[in-house]
Structure formats: structure tokens, C-alpha cells
Amino acid sequence: MRRPATRQGLWLALALAITLFSYLYHLDGRNILKSPDEGFYVQIARMTAEQGKLLPLVCERGICNDKPPLLFWQGIASTSWARAWTLWALRLPSVLYTAATALLVALLAGRLARDWRKAWLAALLFTAALSTVQHGRPFLTNSPETFWLFAPVVILLLVGELSWPVAVVSGLCLGMGALYKSFFLVVPVTAAVGLIQWRHHRWNPLQVLRQDAGRLAAMAGIGLALFALWLAFDPYPGAIVHDFIGRENINKFRHTGYLKGLVSGKYSAITAIWLGDFTNFGFLAFALLGLVVMTLLRWRKGSAGGGVGAGDSFGTAPLADADGPLTGAERDLWCYVVAFLISYTAPYQRQENYILPTVAALSVLLALRWERIPAWFLRLSGAAAVIFIGALAWLIRGLPHAVPDVIYAAWQLVGIGALLMLALSAVVGTGAGVRWRLPAAVAGTWLALGLALSPFDGPFLPSPGGPGLEALRGRTILFPLAWPERHERHRFDVPGSQVAPFDPRDPVATATLIAQGRLMALPIAPDAAPPAGHTVYAERLDLRIGLAFTEVWELVLGRRFDLLVQRLVIIEGPRDSAR
């Protein structure tokens, strides 16, 4: 027994090492998985710091109440009032929050399973999920929100009862989450705890009202009271009520096509919420599907056979029969998941990342039943990782031949190959060891992506014979960006300069800017020359995104790797050309 346990521990240790490297590697890179909102949030943090006071929150368009203040105060603190203004300093607290949530996941899984490997596994499954990587590294609200919203259910399950101290601490957690994102966050967690208590009272609503209504009200009230501190201390509380409470929250419940939007459209409840966690888990979606199928079968068995029932304890004892009915703790965690799904079905705007806290709960559930999930579900997840890393390996082999300026270090090439072999071992291997290799294989996909994109995270380099980067200090440079306020990230590319956007999708407007001789960062083909007569200050390689369908076919069938790359050159025409 000791030898298999040792091998499992070694695979988990490898997964941990890969996870740590993938989360910290190129953390300050412009091409990490992220949301377009990051640039806007960075702008709010910078401009609020520059005004020398914490409130009101401001951006280029003036007072900016799109989100509560804690994320921006976090950015102000981590950058020493914008004096150490780097993406690394802004993003590192998000990674630390993700690590803290992973520790909560490990603590709960380890306590429920009485097995340190399950604790370790649960944390690794959480950090390997697509949505965790995408929203748990950049400067966004999701990472702290997930920590503060998952903490109450962890506390409840570990303590074993909804006592007044548990209710008060949970309310404080809800208040912190609300000050990061929205007062609405009080709803899903309070509903989850209420649903758990309802289950423990054998679905007797009168028992919940008599014994738990006060504590649930206290939880929600403390959370809302903490959120209200923003209005109390902001010099313009009316603007918060109008902009944030009204426009950003209440308006999301007003929609003429609400019923149709439940099943179709951009914000469909079915695809974005009820099936959203399959997207959130990414390569682990097949493993999650196996868990859901197995859970439904076990729930049906428990319902038919009168097994572990509606009123059982919180269940911090060792797990019962692996193929038997759901344990109390498992039912409680599923109550937490379902409460989030129902709560976020109510607004008409729905996105997968809204239910990111459920990824933490589902990671615990996955770890608890990891050995019982049919192996072919896990092999499918491994196969998806193999295809992804294989595609990256194909790209980094072809890119340098098509664009000689794209250079990979030898260790990066070896690393990609090793990660591909690791993923293969999680598919074609034999025995129980295969399922313990999968966390390392999936973590390896994110590291492989970072290695593949690393040549495009380089800085602007001065052009030979040009004025150099110092000549740009204090001047405004136009950057090609179609997404509003995303241009803020380019301040990190050319420190000391001002930045503004132009829309590269409008060729007429772009040609006009070039003809006027404006100072701009112009995207051109790798082998193209800058416009004649223009001064070239600096340039760097840039990754093209949003390829047309025909270009994708050219890339795949014709091996046109150059279509993925462009040069971004900072140019300026003769001064009299603008007259």
C-alpha cells in the first residue's frame, strides 16, 4: 500500500510544482488569459491613486462607480500608491487570493476525507480549472470574491452548526465579497446556507424559520452593512446609487425578453449558468461530467433505498460506502452549487465567471470521489490536454521558420515536449496511476500556453537610428484597440507616455491617421516596411487575435504561421504632413 501512495504523492508534488510555475511565469505578460475588464480596472486604480485619496473612484471619464472600492484599494496598496506601477505588483494579490482559496478547498477536502492526498488533489483541481486560471491571475474581482464567498460554507461544514459566531463571521465574509464586487453576492451564499439548513431540518420550512431565520438575517444584514460603508464614506453617495446600484445591478433584472433569454441568446441561463461550470473547468470538463453522472446515480440510489437522508449530520466523518448514497457533506456542497445556479439565473445578464465560487465546491466533490469516477471520463480530459499541448508544439515549431524574429529558448522547447509526454501518460498509461497524473497534465497545459506565448511578451525595442524610447516620454501614443479602455495596459509598454486608442478595424480612419503623421503604434506584417517618410521610434512582435475564418484555414492547411504574428511599430510622420 505504501508504494502506490508514494507514487500518488510524487505525481501530486509534480502537479504542484507545475501549478506554481504556471501561475507565476510571465505574470506581468500582456498575453496571459484574462478578461477585457482588467485594463479598465487598472485605469481606475491608477487614477484614484493619482488623485491622492481613496474616494471617489475615478477614471478617464470622471467619477467611476462601476465596481466597489476594495479591488482598487488593493491595487493602490500593492503598488505603493502607484509608485511601483507594474502588472506584476497589481496581479500578485490575485494569485495570493487564489492560493488562499485553494487552501480552503484543501482544508475542507482533507477534513471530509481524512486523507492528505485528497486535500492536495482538491486544491490542484481547483487551480487547474480554466476559469480559475483566467480569472484568478489578472487584476480582477473574481479571485477575492471566490475566497470570501466560499469561506462561509467551509466554516459551516467544519464547525457543524449555524451558530451565532458562524453567522457573524460569515456575514463579515459576505461584506468583504460585496465590497469587492456587489451587494448581490449576499444573495447566493445566504440562499446556500439557508438551503443547507433546510435540508438538515428534513425540508421543514417552519424549523428553519424558528431556528435559523435570525442567523440568516444577521448574515445578510452584516454583509449589506459592510457594503453600505462605501456609500457612507464616499463624498458622492448619490452617484453610487445611480451608477452602481441602479445601472450596474438593478438594470440587470429588467429585460423585455427575459423568458426567451433563459434558453437562448448571449446570456442564456442554460449555457452560461447551468452548464457554465463545464466551461469553467476547461480540460477537466469531462471529469466533472463523470462526477455529475455518478452523483445522479448515487442520489437516485439514496432516494430509492432510504440511505443517508435529508436530515443527516454535516458529515465531517470519514466517507461512507463509495458507491452508496451521497453523504451529508456532499449534499451540502451540492446545495451550495445549486443555490448559486438558481441565484444567477435571476439576472438577465449571465456569465460563467459569476459562478466561479462553485468551482471551489465542485473541486472538493471531485477530489472526494476521484477514484470512483470512470477512467474513460478522465482519459477524455487527458486527451483534450494532449490535443491542446500538441497544437502548441506544432505552432512553436513552425513559427520561427515563418517569422525568424520569433525565438524560443532551448529549455522552452524541451519543456513543451516534456509537458506533452506528461499529458500522453495520463491517456495511454495503465493502472490507477493514470488518474493521479491528470492534475499535473492539465496544469501543464497552462504552463505550455505561457511558454508558447512568451516571445510576444517582450518589450518595445528602440529602432536602429531612431530617436529611441526616451523621446516618447510625456507624449500621447495612439494604440490599435477595438475594446474600450483596454488601451490602459499599453502604459506598461511605454512607461512615462500617455496612451489613447484607435480602431484598427476602420481602414479609412487608420489611413487618415497615418497621412496626418500622428504618433501611433501601427500593426504591420512581419516582413512589411513602415510607411515611407515616417520616423520609427520602437517596435516589438505582437500576437494577432481574431483571425478570419479563411485565415484559420490558411494557417492550418497552408502552414501560414506568419498570419499569427504582426509587428507593432511606433511611428510618426513629418510634422508638416498634418497641415
Q: pLDDT (tens digit, 9 = 90+) per residue, 18-48? A: 999 999 999 999 889 998 899 999 999 999 9
Report the candidate in 344, 336, 339 with the shortest Cα–Cα distance to residue 249: 344
pLDDT tens digits, residue range 330-341? 999 999 999 999
For residue 83, what are the CA distances in angstroms to 49, 75, 90, 138, 524? Answer: 9, 11, 12, 19, 34
User: What confidence category does residue 8 fall into, taking pLDDT thresholds of 50, 70 and 90?
Assistant: confident
Q: Is the pLDDT of residue 255 over 70?
A: no
pLDDT of residue 265: 72
Mean pLDDT taken over the chain: 90
Q: What is the CA radius of gyration of the chain?
A: 26
Cell numbers 438577465 correspond to 348
How do 498-502 and 476-480 pair as beta strands? parallel
Q: Is the pLDDT of residue 578 over 60?
A: no
Q: Is the pLDDT of residue 251 over 90?
A: no
Q: Is the pLDDT of residue 308 over 50?
A: no
pLDDT of residue 98: 98
pLDDT of residue 226: 97
Portion of the chain with pLDDT greater than 70, in percent: 92
Residue 539, beta-bridge partner list: 461, 569
pLDDT of residue 465: 84
User: What confidence category does residue 202 fall into, taking pLDDT thresholds of 50, 70 and 90?
Assistant: confident
Rounded average pLDDT over 230-235: 96
pLDDT of residue 389: 97
Q: Is the pLDDT of residue 71 over 70?
A: yes
pLDDT of residue 390: 96
pLDDT of residue 70: 98
- How far is the C-alpha of 150 from the C-alpha of 121, rounded, in Å? 18
pLDDT of residue 261: 73
Distance of CA 463 to the CA centre of its chain: 36
Q: Is the pLDDT of residue 169 over 80?
A: yes
H/E segment holding residue 381: helix 375-402
Better pLDDT: 6 or 57: 57
pLDDT tens digits, residue range 386-441? 999 999 999 999 999 999 999 999 999 999 999 999 999 999 877 667 789 999 99
- How far is the C-alpha of 268 from the C-alpha of 276, rounded, in Å? 10
CB atoms within 10 A of CB 520: 23
User: What confidence category does residue 80 fall into, taking pLDDT thresholds of 50, 70 and 90?
Assistant: very high
Q: Is the pLDDT of residue 136 over 50?
A: yes
Report the candidate in 174, 272, 151 with the shortest Cα–Cα distance to residue 221: 174
For helices 356-368 and 142-159, what crossing angle results, to 10°?
50
Cβ-proximal residues to 107 (8 Å cutoff; 6+ apart), any chain: 119, 154, 158
Distance of CA 475 to the CA centre of its chain: 34
pLDDT tens digits, residue range 342-383? 999 988 778 899 999 999 999 999 999 999 999 999 999 999
Asked if 440 and 9 touch (Cβ cutoff 8 Å), the reply is no
Grid cell, residue 464, equals 536602429
pLDDT of residue 323: 62
pLDDT tens digits, residue range 480-516? 886 666 788 889 989 889 999 898 888 899 999 999 9
The burial of 422, by beta-carbon neighbours within 10 Å (0-12 exposed, 13-18 middle, 19 or more buried), is given as: buried
